[in-house]
Structures are given as structure tokens and as C-alpha cells.
Amino acid sequence: MTLADPKLIQPYERLAFYYDELMDYIDYIDWTDLIVEGLKDLIPGKNILDVSCGTGTMCYHLSALGYEVSGVDSSLKMVELAKSKYSNLRFSVGDMRNIQLTNLTFDAILNVHDGLNYLHNLDDILAFLTNSKSMLSQDGVLVFDVATPRLCRQHFNEFIEIHASEENVWERHTHYDARKKLVQSDFIFLDADGHATEKETHLQIAYNLKEVNSFLELSPFKTWDIFDEETLEIADENTERLIIFAQ
């Protein structure tokens, strides 16, 4: 390995430790309130599963509102951090396409902040939707959001972000391929001398409103509503991030 060729590592192998820093622009209280508003009749005490829970912050805020919350993430490092932050909550490692939780059903399942965009083909998306439906109670609701091509063109095209502190330096370089609707985010981690030592590459596909409707039409879900995630108004072609409530 040369100084110009950092070691390639798996997504979230290092970024997990800086994930809260990366997400510090988000008001989790407002975000949680928006989701609860969309769930309408889901009263405190009901069971919620977060299938891309990250370091557990959303789980914590839902728990604080009185819900029984469990979190799952595909990254072992993320789950370890979630457990260390919120030892009173349940977290486990799992793949959103095939989560195995014996004898458990949920009143709501969440997959927010673009978790579905990590699924790159129809088979994987339908596997996620089918697996989620199998874990829901009779009237349970699946809530997931999706980054659209409009959002990626506006915010992820040739985007560079640098985080520096006394303890660490890391950079994010993001490119959006409009033809493939592919977002590539390279997270580069530097040593004390400023040399790039490790790199994570995250690949996500943007999906538009028409495509999301087509996924759901092929899924076990019978009804759904698609909103603008910022306003909870009905989504249209100008919506940057979709949020879906499906039953």
C-alpha cells in the first residue's frame, strides 16, 4: 500500500465511530415526532423495530416516548456502539432483507435515513418488503424513507466534507452518477501526519416516486401513503426525500 492507496475496509468499519458526528445536523426529536405523527394511532407501549438503527439514537427517542423498541443493523460496529450508548434497549446484528427474530411481531417497523437506498436491485428490495411484512402485526405499519435523484443531484454531486479534531481527521468525497442514479461516497481516514490510511466506499441507488410505487405494487403490502419527509405533505416529483407508510 502506498500513501496514495489507503486500505479498503468495509462500510461502517471505521465510520461507525464517527457516525454521530456525521449526523449531528439532524434534530432527532423533531424527526421522531414527525414519524410518530405519521403513525397516528400507534400509542405508547406498542412494539417498534428499527431495521437500520445505526448507533441507536432514533431507538432512544422512541423509547423515551414510551414505545417498546428494538434495533437491528447490518454493521457489528454500529450495534456495539448502540449497546454501549443505550444498555437498556435491545440491539442485534441482522440483514434487513432477512431478519430472524423468533416469535416476535411488531406494530411498526422503521427503516429511515436512506437505508433502502443501499439495496441496488428489485429482488433485494422485495426481500426487504416481504421480510418486513412477515414481522408486522395484523395492522402493523412499515415506515421507510428513500433519497430521490433530485436530492442526490442537489446535495451529493461532487460534495466534499472534512471533519478534523485533535483526535482524528476524516474526509467524505461524494459523486452522483445521474445516468446510473448511483451515489458513491468515499470516507477517507487520515493518520496524524495527514496520510490517508483507510477508505470506506458506500454505494447507494436513488429511486424516484414512480419506482417506489412500483416496488410496493409488487410487494405484500396492500395500501400505502407516500409523503415529503420534511413536511408530511403528499409527495410529488419535486420531493427530495420520500417517506412511506405501508400496511
* 34 or 123, which is more confident: 123
Residue 73 falls inside a structural domain: yes
C-alpha–C-alpha distance, residues 154 and 87, integer Å: 38
User: Domain holding 92: CATH number?
Assistant: 3.40.50.150
Name the phi and psi angles at 72, rounded to 5: -130, 140
Q: Which residues pair with 177 in a beta bridge?
A: 182
Average pLDDT over residues 219-238: 95
Residue 207 falls inside a structural domain: no
Angle at which helix 76-85 crosses helix 57-64, to 10 degrees, equals 40
Residue 126 falls inside a structural domain: yes
Residue 241 falls inside a structural domain: yes
Confidence class for position 146, pLDDT limits 50, 70, 90: very high
Residue 23 falls inside a structural domain: yes
For residue 28, the tally of other CB atoms under 10 A from its CB is: 14
Give the amino acid at 243.
I
Residues 6+ apart with CB under 8 A from 59: 50, 53, 69, 70, 71, 82, 86, 89, 91
Residue 102 falls inside a structural domain: yes
Confidence class for position 1, pLDDT limits 50, 70, 90: very low
CA distances from 35 to 48, 68, 110, 111, 118 (A): 12, 15, 9, 11, 21
Query: What percent of the chain shows pLDDT beyond 70?
Result: 98
Residue 143 falls inside a structural domain: yes
pLDDT score, position 75: 97
Which of 41, 60, 191, 205 lies closest to 120, judged by CA?
205
Task: Evaluate whether 157 touches 246 at the Cβ level (below 8 Å).
Answer: no
Residue 202 falls inside a structural domain: no
pLDDT score, position 42: 77
C-alpha–C-alpha distance, residues 82 and 154, integer Å: 31
Average pLDDT over residues 16-41: 90
Arithmetic mean of pLDDT over the chain: 93
pLDDT, tens digit, for every residue of 55-95?
Answer: 999 999 999 999 999 999 999 999 999 999 999 999 999 99
pLDDT score, position 2: 45
Q: For the chain, how far is it from start to end, CA to CA, in angstroms?
A: 50
Domain count, the chain: 1
pLDDT score, position 4: 65
* 143 or 168, which is more confident: 143
Give me the helices (H) in the chain, please. 19-22, 28-39, 57-64, 76-85, 122-135, 149-155, 209-217
Q: What share of the chain is helix, strand, coil (3-state, %, to 5)?
A: 30, 35, 40
For residue 99, the tally of other CB atoms under 10 A from its CB is: 20
Range of the domain at 70: 16-147+220-246
